[in-house]
Amino acid sequence: DAGVTQSPTHLIKTRGQQVTLRCSPKSGHDTVSWYQQALGQGPQFIFQYYEEEERQRGNFPDRFSGHQFPNYSSELNVNALLLGDSALYLCASSSYSGFLPGGYTFGSGTRLTVV
Amino acid sequence: RKEVEQDPGPFNVPEGATVAFNCTYSNSASQSFFWYRQDCRKEPKLLMSVYSSGNEDGRFTAQLNRASQYISLLIRDSKLSDSATYLCVVNRAYGGATNKLIFGTGTLLAVQP
């Protein structure tokens, strides 16, 4: 049973560049949420996608954008990278049809370093 | 003020000790409550859900007090393998079936031999 797959696992970018992170949800899940986890902090909600639309958004600037594809996979794009964007980016998949306890499955994350 | 607040830690305890983590949440619309465990440089994994009646899973006991908006986790007979960051998490629902998880900062537990 394939869980959530994220790529790449690690990435180093320069300030001002753009980056795209990818996520394939768990089989049977149709909703993808993205989280940013800075060092020493808990994950912070970026946004959630369902039916190829952004359904919820956290307190992140427009530099952060996303997309969901018909196969439910998703991308997170960050433009004009800042040093403060360095973090672990986590993707979590779930089923929109009803929230169940423990219904979120997290990927192992992409560690982004901005230099 | 953060929506979910936890003890800052770190907690350094000897093997066999009992350790308690506390957490408060500020939004009364929060609907579901959880403790997640996160090992160093790994993704968070669900440890247990938290119910008002209290629930136990082996050495772990979780409790929710909705009136006080307070959540707790008790670990008895600590093992070296319990060393990790423990994240207090609430789930808040919005219109339709949309919901999101809101995480606390996490408390680092280090169990010493």
Q: How confident is the model at residue A76 (pLDDT cuts 50, 70, 90)?
A: very high
From CA B34, how far away is CA A55, in angstroms rounded?
23
Instruction: Give the pLDDT confidence of B73-84 residue by residue, as tens digits.
Output: 999 999 999 999
Q: Strand pairing partners for B50?
A: B33
Question: How big is chain A by its Cα radius of gyration, in Å?
Answer: 13
The residue of A39, A90, A104 whose CB has the most chain B CBs within 10 angstroms, and thus the best one to mutate to test that interface, is A104
The residue of A30, A36, A37 whose CB has the most chain B CBs within 10 angstroms, and thus the best one to mutate to test that interface, is A37
Chain B residues with CB-CB distance to A98 below 8 A: 97
DSSP structure class, residue A41: S
From CA B16, how far away is CA B10, in angstroms rounded?
17
Closest by CA to B92, choosing from A84, A106, A48, A25, is: A48
Q: Residue with structure tokens 């980016």?
A: A89
DSSP structure class, residue A94: E
Instruction: Give the pLDDT confidence of B14-66 residue by residue, as tens digits.
Output: 999 999 999 999 987 777 899 999 999 899 999 999 988 889 999 999 999 99
Asked whether the beta carbons of B104 and B7 are under 8 A apart, the reply is no
Amino acid B108 reads L
Q: Strand pairing partners for A44?
A: A36
| Residues constituting chain A | 115
Chain B residues with CB-CB distance to A111 below 8 A: 41
Q: Residue with structure tokens 């919820």?
A: A56
Note the pLDDT of residue A18.
98
Asked whether the beta carbons of B50 and B71 are under 8 A apart, the reply is yes
Q: How confident is the model at residue A21 (pLDDT cuts 50, 70, 90)?
A: very high
Assess A56–B contact: CB distance below 8 Å, yes or no: yes
